[in-house]
Chain A
Amino acid sequence: GAGVSQSPSNKVTEKGKDVELRCDPISGHTALYWYRQSLGQGLEFLIYFQGNSAPDKSGLPSDRFSAERTGGSVSTLTIQRTQQEDSAVYLCASSSRRDTQYFGPGTRLTVL
């Protein structure tokens, strides 16, 4: 079946602009995760959604970052007023609650 998909695959933006990154999880997966992969920081957990429960936002680096998940499926990660240090690959993963996480191909964000 279809895996996790993310769009866009690449995004180049200017400092100060807002960006939206999209994640389509595997159908039927109730849990959705966002991670950030950057040089010097490795892979960092950002946020987790599980069903209709309140998300765990403990990994979001600042209040410029937010995420939502509509209808328990598609998720959007929004970064406001982007900074150069936001440049990274943003990875989305989904799972069946406690099971293995399956990752999407990522969105490479470059902030000029």
Chain B
Amino acid sequence: AQSVTQLGSHVSVSEGALVLLRCNYSSSVPPYLFWYVQYPNQGLQLLLKYTTGATLVKGINGFEAEFKKSETSFHLTKPSAHMSDAAEYFCAVSTFSGGYNKLIFGAGTRLAVHP
């Protein structure tokens, strides 16, 4: 069975500071990994994804994540936080079980950015 653990339900950073949101996964087969962002009263927007190949993945809005198989991690980072980054972030894992992409989500991390 697959699962996702996001460490820290709330993270607060200063504007301009490093953003680090942690995600660890469990999967018995090579995983596909995703980060989604949710702004208030909106749906989920894909930030980035890892399927195969290069383990450092770059996404939108300056975010990136690194797949580390040995640590079963897929942490999300951004060098310099912006006020507009305040949102909830979800890490998700999937395998194409049954021929389709069923996502298993972590509990989410709410990012606050203060001046």
Residues of A within 8 A of B (CB): 4, 31, 33, 35, 42-43, 45, 48, 50, 56, 91, 93, 95, 97-106
B32-76 contact mask (Cβ, 8 Å, vs A): 1 or 0: 001010000111111001000000000000000000000000000
Among the listed B41, B42, B49, B90, which residue makes an inter-chain contact with A100, where contact means beta carbons less than 8 Å apart? B49
Query: Please, which residues of chain B bring their CB within 8 A of the CB of A95?
Result: 101
Judging by beta carbons under 8 Å apart, are B101 and A105 in contact? no
Judging by beta carbons under 8 Å apart, are A56 and B108 in contact? no
Query: CA A42 – CA B105 in complex, angstroms?
Result: 8
Given A48-B102, A101-B103, the answer on whether A42 and B42 have CB atoms closer than 8 Å is no
> Is B113 on the interface with A (CB-CB < 8 A)?
no
Residue from A31, A43, A93 having most chain B Cβ neighbours under 10 A: A43
Judging by beta carbons under 8 Å apart, are A97 and B100 in contact? yes
Q: Size range of the interface on B?
A: 20 to 34
Judging by beta carbons under 8 Å apart, are B43 and A101 in contact? no
Query: Please, which residues of chain A bring their CB within 8 A of the CB of B99?
Result: 50, 97-98
Judging by beta carbons under 8 Å apart, are A48 and B43 in contact? no
Query: Please, which residues of chain B bring their CB within 8 A of the CB of A103?
Result: 36, 43-45
Judging by beta carbons under 8 Å apart, are B103 and A45 in contact? yes
Given A91-B44, A103-B45, the answer on whether A43 and B90 have CB atoms closer than 8 Å is yes
Q: Which residue of A lies closest to B102 (CB)?
A: A45
Supply 9 A–B pairs (Cβ within 8 Å), ascending by A.
Answer: A42-B108, A43-B105, A45-B102, A93-B44, A99-B101, A100-B101, A103-B43, A104-B43, A105-B42
Query: CA A56 – CA B90 in complex, angstroms?
Result: 23
Nearest first, the 5 A-B pairs at minimum CB distance are A103-B43, A43-B105, A103-B44, A105-B43, A42-B107
Among the listed A45, A56, A106, which residue makes an inter-chain contact with B98, where contact means beta carbons less than 8 Å apart? A56
Judging by beta carbons under 8 Å apart, are A106 and B102 in contact? no
Query: Please, which residues of chain A bring their CB within 8 A of the CB of B98?
Result: 56
Q: Smallest CB–CB gap between B91 and chain A, Å?
A: 11
Q: Which residue of B lies closest to A6 (CB)?
A: B43
Query: Please, which residues of chain A bring their CB within 8 A of the CB of B43?
Result: 4, 91, 103-106
Interface residues of B in 78-102 (CB under 8 A from A): 90, 96, 98-102
